[in-house]
Structure 1
Amino acid sequence: MSQDKFKLFSFSGKMKIMHLSWMAFFITFMVWFNAAPLLSVIAESIGLTPSQIKTLLILNVALTIPARVLIGMVTDKYGPRLVYSLLLGICSIPCFMFALGTTFEQLALARFLLGFIGAGFVVGIRIVSEWFPAKELGTAEGIYGGWGNFGSAAAAFTLPAVALAFGGADGWRYAIGLTGLMSLAFAFIYYFNVTDTPKGSSYFKPKRSGALEVTSKGDFGLLLVMKVPMYATLALLTWKLSPAGVNMLTEQMVNAINLLLVAIFLVDVYQTYQVNKAVFSGTIPEFERYQFKQVAVLNVLYFSTFGSELAVVSMLPLFFAETFELGLAQAGMVASSYAFMNLMSRPGGGWLSDRFGRKSTLLILTAGLAMGYFGVAQIDGTWALPVAIVMVMACSFFVQSGEGAVFAAVPLIKRRLTGQIAGMTGAYGNVGAVFFLTVYSIVSTQTFFYVIAVSALIGFFTVFLMNEPKGHISEVNEKGEVTLISVN
Structure 2
Amino acid sequence: METTQQDVAHGSRLNAYTALILATLAMIVCFMSWSNFAPLAAQVGAMFHLSVASRTLLLATPVLLGSIARIPVGILSDKYGGKKVYIILMIFILIPLFMIPRVHSFGMLLFAALLVGMAGTSFAVGVSYASVWFPKEQQGLALGIVSMGNMGNAVAALTLPYISKSHGFTAVYNFLMILTVVIGVIFAIFCKEMPTNPNKTMGEALSVAKESSTWYLSLFYFLTFGLFVAFTNLTPLFLTGMFNYSQVTAGLYAALFAGVCTIIRPVGGFMADKMRPMMLLQWVFVAIIAFAILIMVSFKSQPLFIAGIVLVGLAAGVGNGVVFKMVPYVSQGNTGAVTGFVGAMGGLGGFFPPLVIGWIKEWTGSYELGIGLLVLTGVICLFALWHHFIRGDARIVK
Superposition TM-score, scaled by structure 1 size:
0.74
List runs of 5+ in structure 1 lacking aligned partners: 7-11, 216-222, 224-290, 472-488
Aligned to 1:430: 347
Contact 2:52 2:358 in 1 (8 A): no
**Aligned partners of 1:5, 1:71: CA distance in 2, in Å?**
26
Contact 1:72 1:419 in 2 (8 A): yes
Alignment of 1:359-398 (within 5 A): 359-381=278-300, 383-385=301-303, 387-398=304-315
Q: Give, as a single letter, the amino acid of the residue that structure 2 aligns with 1:187.
A: G
Aligned to 1:341: 260
Find 1:105's aligned residue among 104, 107, 110: 107
1:402 pairs with 2:324: no
* Alpha-carbon RMSD: 2.1
**Aligned partners of 2:15, 2:152: CA distance in 1, in Å?**
24
Change (3 A) 1:470 1:321: closer
Alignment of 1:126-205 (within 5 A): 126-145=128-147, 147-166=148-167, 171-197=168-194, 203-204=196-197
Contact 1:376 1:391 in 2 (8 A): yes
| 3-state SS in 2 of match to 1:341 | helix
Structure with the higher fraction of residues in helix conformation: 2
Change (3 A) 1:407 1:206: farther
Contact 1:130 1:196 in 2 (8 A): no
List runs of 5+ in structure 2 lacking aligned partners: 1-7, 361-365
* C-alpha distance after superposition, 1:331-389 (max 9, x if no partner): 111222210113421111101100102221222212212222122212223x243x432
Deviation at 1:47, TM superposition (A): 3.1
Change (3 A) 1:19 1:179: same
* C-alpha distance after superposition, 1:102-129 (max 9, x if no partner): 2212211100111111011001111221
Contact 2:36 2:160 in 1 (8 A): yes
**Aligned partners of 1:96, 1:366: CA distance in 2, in Å?**
40
**Aligned partners of 2:93, 2:144: CA distance in 1, in Å?**
25
Aligned to 2:202: 209
Change (3 A) 1:177 1:357: same
| 3-state SS in 1 of match to 2:36 | coil
* C-alpha distance after superposition, 1:2-36 (max 9, x if no partner): 45999xxxxx3322211101101101110011111
Contact 1:357 1:468 in 2 (8 A): no
1:312 pairs with 2:231: yes
Contact 1:163 1:172 in 2 (8 A): yes
Q: How many residue pairs end up in the alignment?
A: 381
Change (3 A) 1:299 1:427: same
**Aligned partners of 1:122, 1:309: CA distance in 2, in Å?**
16
Find 1:445's aligned residue among 367, 383, 387: 367
Q: Give, as a single letter, the amino acid of the residue that structure 1 aligns with 2:191.
A: V
Contact 1:159 1:176 in 2 (8 A): no
Contact 2:82 2:126 in 1 (8 A): yes
Percent of aligned positions that are identical: 26
Find 2:244's aligned residue among 312, 325, 331: 325
Contact 2:214 2:342 in 1 (8 A): yes
Change (3 A) 1:308 1:213: same
Alignment of 1:87-126 (within 5 A): 87-126=89-128
**Aligned partners of 2:24, 2:286: CA distance in 1, in Å?**
28
Greater C-alpha Rg:
1
Change (3 A) 1:85 1:338: same
Deviation at 1:50, TM superposition (A): 3.1
Contact 1:204 1:415 in 2 (8 A): no
**Aligned partners of 1:323, 1:97: CA distance in 2, in Å?**
32
| 3-state SS in 1 of match to 2:28 | helix
Aligned to 1:469: 396
Contact 1:156 1:336 in 2 (8 A): yes
Deviation at 1:163, TM superposition (A): 1.0
**Aligned partners of 2:241, 2:51: CA distance in 1, in Å?**
16
Contact 1:337 1:389 in 2 (8 A): no
Aligned to 1:253: none
**Aligned partners of 1:4, 1:15: CA distance in 2, in Å?**
11
Superposition TM-score, scaled by structure 2 size:
0.90
Contact 2:141 2:266 in 1 (8 A): yes
**Aligned partners of 1:424, 1:318: CA distance in 2, in Å?**
29
Contact 1:79 1:196 in 2 (8 A): yes
**Aligned partners of 1:73, 1:211: CA distance in 2, in Å?**
10
